Amino acid sequence: MRKRLGIVTWYGTNPNGYNFGTALQSYALQRVLCDMGYDARMFLFKSQGNKGIVKSVLDYIGFLGVLRCARRFMRSGHFFEDGAVRRLRRWNKRHYRETTQEGVSCFVSGSDQIWNTYHHFDPHFFLDFVGNAKRVSYASSIGTRGVNPQCAEKVKGLLSSFNYITAREESGAEALRELTGRSDIRRVQDPTLLMRPDDWRRFGLEENLHQKPEREYLLCYLLSKKSEYIDQVQDVALRLGLDKIVIVPALENEGFFVDGAVRYVNATPCEFVRLIDEAKFVCTDSFHATVLSMLLSRPFVEFMRFDDGDTHSQNSRIYEILGRYGLMERIYNHDSEKWTESIDYVPIHSAMECDREESLALLRKMIEE
């Protein structure tokens, strides 16, 4: 009998501009663990129907955020016109397997910013409910430069029960080492990087694009509501000679628009990956859209979502992924042309493969030992 694992992270989709990174990282971790021979399932919190997915969305954007999304979605008419809700529910059902606590021998707190205590502290994501089962974390991210002092002691106590701890960013691993006094905390790859480029291409081809964009398009997926993004996107399009702009609305920035652009609404995660794969160029401030651009060998430019001096800044994850693979020059700079240049992905993918193998070996070790 295969060892059953319970994955504890944000997961699932939401009808109106949900965060694609949430869906992609959770799908990738479950798929990779299943490919490794485990019976890996998303832990259904409190075993209340679809509470796992609902709670994930509530934790991420809050109850009022859900109400705003629902109101926008109903007003848009898509509920009646194209069955977007049904399509996304089908996507959830097809790509996630769920479990209750019964029969789980090891719980894995997954990736994404589930440990970002400046955004929200939830003991559930620190596996406070587990009891005697094994506890490990895989690429859990604190997102910022440290743990919120208001809950630091609680976090320290909860982490003391973990058999193994790994973090997505080296800065996060260092902050957790300092907090806990543990020297065994390691940095590992985000789950999306554990799947290879061809895996993601096949994933993107699982569904047809319900809006077929014209070829040679600039794809935009932007989380921040920075007003300067409009001018920056227009500057990118002008310099690259691309007059077709496709915007995938993000949950955090649902209203973003540039004159003349096409909005690709209600995309599934499969469509999102395919849109990146077929784009001529990508503009983003999203960690996971950046990762997918790199995996799929797409040229991209990075907009910085936060000011570096902000206590809540999440820029460290962007700096780390770009710095690790020699891509810091992809950060947008109005006075530079370097981000417009082509990217030699051969050495980058070679380095990614080494990191991937190291992370997979550590993941198996954490579960088995």
Q: What does the pLDDT read at residue 160? A: 97
Per-residue pLDDT tens for 225-277? 999 999 999 999 999 999 999 999 988 888 999 999 999 988 999 999 999 99
How confident is the model at residue 50, as a pLDDT? 43
Q: What span, in angstroms and rounded, lies between the C-alpha atoms of 269 and 288?
A: 12
Band the pLDDT of 51: cuts 50, 70, 90.
very low
Top-confidence residue, 276 or 44: 276
Q: Report, as an integer, the average pLDDT of 272-288.
A: 97
Mean predicted confidence (pLDDT) in 4-17: 78
> For residue 122, what pLDDT is reported?
93
Q: Which amino acid is at 57?
A: V
Percentage of the chain lying above the pLDDT 70 cut: 87
Q: Domains plus CATH for the chain?
A: 4-194+355-368 (3.40.50), 197-350 (3.40.50.2000)
The 3-state secondary structure of the chain reads CCCEEEEECCCCCCCCCCCHHHHHHHHHHHHHHHHCCCEEEEECHHHCCCHHHHHHHHHHHHHHHHHHHHHHHHHHCHHHHCCHHHHHHHHHHHHCCEECCCCCCEEEECCCCCCCCCCCCCHHHHCCCCCCCEEEECCECCCCCCCCHHHHHHHHHHHCCCCECEECCHHHHHHHHHHHCCCCCEECCCHHHHCCHHHHHHHHCCCCCCCCCCCCEEEEECCCCCCHHHHHHHHHHHHHCCCEEEECCECCECCCCCCCCEECCCCCHHHHHHHHHCCCEEEECCHHHHHHHHHCCCCEEECCCCCCCCCCCCHHHHHHHHHHCCCHHHECCCCCCHHHCCCCHHHHHHHHHHHHHHHHHHHHHHHHC
Residue 353 above 60 pLDDT? yes
Q: Interior CA angle at 197 toward 192 and 201, to 5°? A: 100
pLDDT above 60 for 60: no
Confidence bin at 209 (pLDDT 50/70/90): very high
Tell me the average pLDDT across 40-48. Answer: 74
pLDDT for 83: 65
The pLDDT of 73-78, averaged and rounded, is 44
pLDDT reported for residue 15: 47
In 3D, which of 8, 4, 6, 17 has the Cα closest to residue 255?
17
**Residue 293 predicted with pLDDT over 50:** yes
pLDDT in tens, 119-142: 889 999 999 999 889 999 999 999
Taking only the tens place, the pLDDT of each residue in 161-208 is: 999 999 999 999 999 999 999 999 999 999 999 999 999 999 999 999
Q: Is residue 68 scored above 80 in pLDDT? A: no
CA 336/CA 326 separation, integer angstroms: 17
pLDDT band, residue 309 (cuts 50/70/90): confident
pLDDT at 47 over 50: no
At 58, is the pLDDT very low, low, confident or very high (cuts 50, 70, 90)?
low
Average pLDDT over residues 96-119: 93
Residue 138 to residue 205: CA distance in whole angstroms: 28
Count CB neighbours of 194 within 10 A. 26
Q: Residue 197: exposed, middle, or buried by beta-carbon count in 10 A (0-12, 13-18, 19+)?
A: middle
pLDDT greater than 90 at residue 333: yes
Residue range 92-106: mean pLDDT, rounded: 93
